[in-house]
Amino acid sequence: MSKQFDSMMEGLTELLEYAKGDRSKCRTRVVEVKSLNVTPLKQYSEDEIKSLRVSHNLTQKTFAQCLGVSQKTVESWERGENSPSGSSVRLLQMLERNSNILEECEILTPTDSMEMVNPAVVGSQ
């Protein structure tokens, strides 16, 4: 037989011995696993989405790019025709809790030509 086969057989034999209670040839370690609760996904209204976007001075286009969705999707959310789900909701939750997250994660970086919301025309955005 080959060395690889012999090595595999030796490992399988040790595994069987371990399963039967003989732990003399095996190395084990205990790993502590924390129990975690995952916050449920929030339901966002069209007003909450628009308010979140405007509070960050972002156009619908830039907001959509940051979230990885189309501008049409953001428009649909803000009109109440559709609602964000899954990872989009999780990103909105993160943005709501940490207003600097887009910059910290380098998703949003300032440029001379970046589109920003003009507070005077917020109603039309």
Give the integer Cα–Cα distance in Å for 101 and 55: 14
CATH of residue 57's domain is 1.10.260.40
Q: Would 99 be classed as within a structural domain?
A: yes
pLDDT for 113: 55
pLDDT above 70: percentage of residues in the chain = 88
- The residue that leads in pLDDT, 101 or 121, is 101
Count of domains observed in the chain: 1
Q: Would 98 be classed as within a structural domain?
A: yes
pLDDT for 118: 59
Name the burial class of residue 92, with classes exposed (0-12), middle (13-18) and buried (19+) by CB atoms within 10 angstroms of its CB.
Answer: buried
Report, as an integer, the average pLDDT of 85-96: 95
